[in-house]
Structure 1
Amino acid sequence: MKSEIILKTSSLTKKYGNNTVLRGIDIEVKKGECHAVVGENGAGKTTLMNLLGGIAPPTSGNFEFYGTKYTKVDPRESIDIGISIIHQDFALVPTLSVKENIFLGKLKGNFLGIIKNYSELDREAGKILQRLGESENIRPSDIVGHLSTSKQQIVEIAKALAENPKLLIMDEPTTSLTKSEVKNLFRIINSIKKEGISIIYVSHILEDVAEISDRITVLRDGEYVGTKDTNTTDISDIITMMVGRKVDLYDVKKKSEVKKTAKNALEVRDLGVEGVIKNVSFALKEGEILGFAGLVGSGRSEVAKAVFGFYPKTTGKILINEKEVKIRSPREAMDKGIGLLPEDRRGQGFIPSMSVMQNMSLSSLKDISKAGIPSIKKEKALVDMYMKYLNIKTHSVHAPIMSLSGGNQQKVVLSKWLATKSRVLLVDEPTQGIDVGSKSEIHKILKGLTREGVAIILISSELPEILSLSDRIIVMRQGTKSGELDISEATPERIMYLATIGVDEKVHEAVS
């Protein structure tokens, strides 16, 4: 029996000025299916979601939902007809309880604004949480700000279900979740599907898409590429559809590419930060990528932050070009030629309220200024050079940096440090949250920098990324260095042995 089509878009198009971000999109969503929408950052996924959710009106085209045609809707109308969106950045009030958040906007008070029907709210919120199988984990009275990210997401789902949706749109739902939390989310999604509710699942994590979706629609550069049945499609085919070319992200590096004559660009001896890391030692050579692997909380990022002066070291020495240096602040690290691409690029990598140009030149103001006044000519020349070198895509260098895709934001952060002529780069989760095409570009950029002699510390939670880029690998466990492997002898198994039990797989086998 053929499944009912509940959503059908016809030539949906969105323009901002002369910039067309979505062009003639035609897709169909079936009742009770999980329909994934994927594409590189900037492909138009979020714009499509915003048009369906009434956040932005289409320039042309329309969509049909359960037999009724709409040219545009506002957010309230979208909810009323049965479309609810769960955004990546939750729309919850952290100081309110779970039940208050679930029924926010529906709370009825007396003339003094006092809510009297709390017992009813408690019962109704409890019913929804039970429906999701979470009544034992989340209480209606819990304060939302005290909940974990995964539990807050469940509250968002409960809030959406309180509107009795027929279509639930989820934007990057697993980005901040652990594997066990993802498994629980997928259980909830499958239970929602059984109720006949359809789901549009927007994500860049293709492994998750392959596991949870029924069909996959690919967008590229604002245009519809195609829709595939998940169970008969290989992920490599989806990647090719996304980028318009075949992408080999993770060809494992067979041997180190560091020159034998390369000198130490950075050396760390017995580095320690009280309560964080202890006795960490390593050397980083010119033109080398030194990977840092380990589980979450193992101390990988903390090592980079200690080297960069974020943490006051309590023990150890840091040497640059074989000379001991004192680094007590990020400013001193920058002066020594060290740059840091932080894991949290939005919180620490750039200033969201500034433009692309302002962020790119931020770390180089003293080099482009005279008597404290920046030279507009020098700033433009600097920005133009790195825009071209890093292939940063934006309609204007004066555009807000928040208007860029995640991959292009990351390139802007990278350009800041290249502009300061940093010879040592500490790169923390450089491809987290960006699409496969941008990942490939970032990988090529990092490899290109090593050919110019730049030394790179690469911190990544993705073992394939570590194995494809690194010349050597340091494995961290519980704040200490548990092992070091040359890329020629590194395997996922050996890395995980060191990361989990602190012993090399070969040593473990020999002892056993």
Structure 2
Amino acid sequence: MSAPIIRPAPPGSDTPPALALHHVDKRFPGVHALKDVSIEIRPGEVVGLVGENGAGKSTLMKILSGVYQPDSGEIRLNGQKTRFVSASDAMRQGIGMVFQEQSLLTNLTVGENIYLGNEAQFTRFGIVDWRALYAAASRQLAKVQIDADPRTRAEDLDFAARQMVELAKALTLEENAPGHLVILLDEPTSVLERAEIDILFARVRALRARASFIFVSHRLDEVLELSDRIYVMKDGAVVAELAAAEADVTQLHHWMVGRSLQAEYYREPLQKPYRDEIVLELDRLGHQGAYRDVSFKLHAGEILGIAGVIGSGREELTRTLAGFAPHDAGRLLAAGREVKLRTPAEAVDIGIGYIPRERRVEGLVLFLPVAANITLGDLGTLTKNGLIDTREEKRLAQEWVQKLRIRTPGIHTLCLNLSGGNQQKVVLAKWLNARARILILDHPTRGLDVGAKEEVYELIRAVTAEGVAVILTSDTLEETIGLSHTVLVMRDGAITHRVGAEPGHKPQQVDLIGHMV
């Protein structure tokens, strides 16, 4: 589908854009990352930027933040042609960034983080005036309306509060930048709850007098909610620009992936009945301070979804099953045999694979190639006399790349250089190669675009059809319901509800929410 380029009239024709890119191109070896890209951000505006993984969003953001320089084209700031020779140069010119992964150093105080790298203004004869620094940090925190002591260590704040500190840090640029600020929001809501998202959005709206924003997110409904205009990217090019008020999720999905958002998004027609075989049984399982009296039976080929808010106990329960937090009450039986999983290695030994929410931290070794990551969970079968059979490793890696349709230049490509969706496929391949019979999926589609999510859903359906059992915790109730055979609801560490979720008989979200809160 060739989408029309819709250009709403600017609010003030005499006011130049706060930031504009004209005909920007960027190439890397073998990849044409950006193709003749032109965008503009007007003063006080929130611009949404959406696209599949690999569409060019990350490259574009790195050019705007000074990490990369364009091969051709120009950048204009407040109507004047400029260039960003480095990230620090972009910051000096008023370009700030709030990262998805967060850039705060958790062992430093909030104030130290806010002025990290800019302590010189508070330093005389090599001595930092901490009272002045913390007073200035308090003023920055007031801008984002967060009640936090700047002397508090960043590690003592929750994730939502740290995200606000990131925003306050970006706003320090207005003290030295000559013009209007532009703040890049890179997936800032990916691990926030709805109430926290509402607070963040309220702060962004309140700050429009000081700054313009570019909002990058895979959550299309949030992009529509916050943005004034939206740019859609595909294959390194801008394929649509439109007013958010004139768009909907289905339109954006179509332009992003080139096909309609299917009614069977969660591949419900592929959901097969699970088998009678019980692969895991929990009998009044408990972990002090986290959950208690949890009982259920997991069957081969079953997807068991666990719903609940933060603090419900579901995260701690899944980490017990992955070997990170041994239970201290009740019984855990795998294939009929009682076990206590004291380490992740013990979980792997009984056929449990864990796909964590932080795949880049816990799921992959980013600086190892695809082949090494795929075989990492089963090195024993590849090793003889202390040496890895590289020929067999290559064969297995190529087999899984082909089977899971992992898009990579080759099996020797570093996982660091893959898109999020393909990184997730590598993690899945690792456990399937290790012959895991139970997969714990902890927010498996976090940070993935809609096209990549569909591919992950299809893979989940395929592995359960072969008898692999899945325990699923998800970002959304919709995903939990759509994928699962059975849904358990947890609140305050206990199971409060369980319901079947067969195709055509899925429970409604509202029916579950009452048992969650």
Length-normalised TM-score, structure 1: 0.89
1:80-109 Cα shifts (integer Å, max 9, x gaps): 333222222333344544444333424246
Verify: 1:175 aligned to 2:190, yes or no: yes
1:199 counterpart SS class? strand
Q: Distance in 1 between matches of 2:391 and 2:41?
A: 51
1:175-216 Cα shifts (integer Å, max 9, x gaps): 232322222211221122134x22111112222211111011
Map of 2:94 onto structure 1? 82
Decide whether the 8 Å contact of 1:51 with 1:58 is kept in 2: yes
Decide whether the 8 Å contact of 2:284 with 2:329 is kept in 1: yes
Map of 1:441 onto structure 2? 455
Q: Distance in 2 between matches of 1:109 and 1:425?
A: 52
Residue pairs, 1:52-67, within 5 angstroms: 52-67=64-79
Q: Which of 127, 139, 164 is residue 114 of structure 1 equivalent to?
A: 127
Q: Which of 475, 491, 508 is residue 491 of structure 1 equivalent to?
A: 508
Verify: 1:147 aligned to 2:147, yes or no: no
Q: Distance in 2 between matches of 1:124 and 1:265?
A: 58
1:393 counterpart SS class? coil
User: 1:152 is matched by which residue type in structure 2?
Assistant: R
Q: Which of 9, 19, 29 is residue 17 of structure 1 equivalent to?
A: 29
CA 1:29/1:264 → structure 2, altered by over 3 Å: closer, same or farther?
Answer: same
User: 2:36 is matched by which residue type in structure 1?
Assistant: G
Map of 1:156 onto structure 2? 166
CA 1:100/1:423 → structure 2, altered by over 3 Å: closer, same or farther?
Answer: closer
Map of 2:389 onto structure 1? 375
Decide whether the 8 Å contact of 1:272 with 1:278 is kept in 2: yes
User: 1:212 is matched by which residue type in structure 2?
Assistant: L
| CA RMSD in angstroms, aligned pairs only | 2.5
1:162 counterpart SS class? helix
Map of 2:402 onto structure 1? 388
Map of 1:505 onto structure 2? none
Q: Distance in 1 between matches of 2:155 and 2:55?
A: 33
Q: Distance in 2 between matches of 1:193 and 1:186?
A: 11
User: 1:359 is matched by which residue type in structure 2?
Assistant: N
Q: Distance in 1 between matches of 2:114 and 2:296?
A: 50
1:221-262 Cα shifts (integer Å, max 9, x gaps): 222111111011111111111111112376578899544763
Q: Distance in 2 between matches of 1:310 and 1:123?
A: 41
Decide whether the 8 Å contact of 2:52 with 2:257 is kept in 1: yes
CA 1:6/1:256 → structure 2, altered by over 3 Å: closer, same or farther?
Answer: closer
CA 1:395/1:258 → structure 2, altered by over 3 Å: closer, same or farther?
Answer: closer
Decide whether the 8 Å contact of 2:122 with 2:133 is kept in 1: no
Q: CA deviation at 1:344?
A: 2.7
Q: Distance in 2 between matches of 1:47 and 1:214?
A: 22
Q: CA deviation at 1:20?
A: 1.9
Residue pairs, 1:305-324, within 5 angstroms: 305-324=319-338
User: 1:178 is matched by which residue type in structure 2?
Assistant: E
Q: Distance in 2 between matches of 1:318 and 1:72?
A: 57
Decide whether the 8 Å contact of 2:266 with 2:457 is kept in 1: no
User: 2:391 is matched by which residue type in structure 1?
Assistant: K
Decide whether the 8 Å contact of 2:173 with 2:181 is kept in 1: no
Map of 1:419 onto structure 2? 433
1:255-284 Cα shifts (integer Å, max 9, x gaps): 995447632232222222233222221112
Mean Cα displacement is larger for which, 341-350 or 207-216? 341-350
User: 2:70 is matched by which residue type in structure 1?
Assistant: P
Q: CA deviation at 1:453?
A: 1.7
Verify: 1:286 aligned to 2:327, yes or no: no
CA 1:444/1:148 → structure 2, altered by over 3 Å: closer, same or farther?
Answer: same
Map of 1:480 onto structure 2? 494
1:85 counterpart SS class? strand
Q: Distance in 2 between matches of 1:249 and 1:348?
A: 33
Q: Distance in 2 between matches of 1:24 and 1:357?
A: 35
Mean Cα displacement is larger for which, 26-35 or 255-264? 255-264
Q: Distance in 2 between matches of 1:158 and 1:326?
A: 45
CA 1:216/1:451 → structure 2, altered by over 3 Å: closer, same or farther?
Answer: same
Residue pairs, 1:311-390, within 5 angstroms: 311-325=325-339, 327-390=341-404
2:353 counterpart SS class? strand
Decide whether the 8 Å contact of 1:22 with 1:44 is kept in 2: yes
Q: Distance in 2 between matches of 1:155 and 1:237?
A: 34
1:193 counterpart SS class? coil
Q: Distance in 1 between matches of 2:77 and 2:278?
A: 63
Verify: 1:28 aligned to 2:40, yes or no: yes
Q: Distance in 1 between matches of 2:123 and 2:453?
A: 54
Verify: 1:221 aligned to 2:231, yes or no: no
5+ residue gaps, structure 1: 501-512
1:340-379 Cα shifts (integer Å, max 9, x gaps): 2123323321223322221111011112222231111110
CA 1:489/1:357 → structure 2, altered by over 3 Å: closer, same or farther?
Answer: closer
Decide whether the 8 Å contact of 1:53 with 1:84 is kept in 2: yes
Q: CA deviation at 1:286?
A: 1.9
2:293 counterpart SS class? strand
Q: Distance in 2 between matches of 1:238 and 1:391?
A: 24
2:365 counterpart SS class? coil
Map of 2:283 onto structure 1? 269
CA 1:12/1:259 → structure 2, altered by over 3 Å: closer, same or farther?
Answer: same
Q: CA deviation at 1:48?
A: 0.5
Length-normalised TM-score, structure 2: 0.88
